[in-house]
Amino acid sequence: MKIPLGFQMTETDSGKTTLLNTISYLFDRELVDKNLIKSVYKHSIDETNILLKQETICDFAKKILDKKKYNLELNVLNKEEVNIKTIKEYMKDDSTIMIIHLYLFGKSHYSLVTKIDNNYIYLFDPYYLDETYYDEDRMVELIYDEPFEYNRKVSIKRFYSMNLSDYALGPTEHRECLIIKKCVK
């Protein structure tokens, strides 16, 4: 049984919550390894969303998901590797998702990208916002009726922006994502 994806509880846990959402998205509840969940909770993240052991959320996620029993193909992309051509190539099938670093309120933030088309990126963002928050911003749409898949629809133009606008990837030197492909057994 799948469970709905969740929201962060504090201003600084988007990375940890996105990793937990990744696990919920990939596995039925009955198949979730409790040791996997324990390993997510035992690592501390500071106010800038960086693990205190000096690794990024994507590197940490790769380390804990990189077990043969999970049957996942994992690739961390950084800097100029995080571009529209590469992301579209990886996301061309329904078995691939990604944890991605982007910006929200001008600050470092993590979300789960679940699909992409020619116009939009669909992601589950763990930061809860009132449904009218983006009424004046036509590049972001809040979605409330897809709790197992996504809650934001972001224009491709905004997503690949170099600035620090909400849901923009921002400057090339800060870009990072973890591509996660669920392999068929």
* Tens-digit pLDDT string for the chain (185 aa): 999 999 998 887 888 899 999 999 998 999 888 888 887 877 655 555 555 455 788 888 888 888 878 889 999 999 999 998 999 999 988 889 999 999 999 999 999 999 999 999 999 999 999 999 999 999 999 999 999 999 999 999 999 999 999 999 999 999 999 999 988 76
Q: Which CATH number do you get for residue 116?
A: 3.90.70.10
The whole domain housing 33 covers: 14-182
Q: What residue type is 83 in one-letter code?
A: N
Q: Does residue 54 lie within any of the structural domains?
A: yes
Per the structure, the count of domains in the chain is 1
In 35-139 the beta strands, taken as DSSP E runs, fall at: 72-78, 96-104, 107-116, 120-124
Q: Does residue 167 lie within any of the structural domains?
A: yes
Q: Does residue 177 lie within any of the structural domains?
A: yes
Q: Does residue 88 lie within any of the structural domains?
A: yes
How far is 185 from 164, CA to CA, in rounded Å? 40
pTM, to two decimals: 0.90
Q: Which helix (H) or strand (E) holds 75?
A: strand 72-78
Radius of gyration of the chain (CA): 15
pLDDT for position 53: 54
pLDDT for position 125: 97
Q: Does residue 6 lie within any of the structural domains?
A: no
Residue 98 is encoded by which pair of tokens? 């990604």
pLDDT for position 46: 54
pLDDT for position 48: 55
Residue 173 is encoded by which pair of tokens? 């030197």
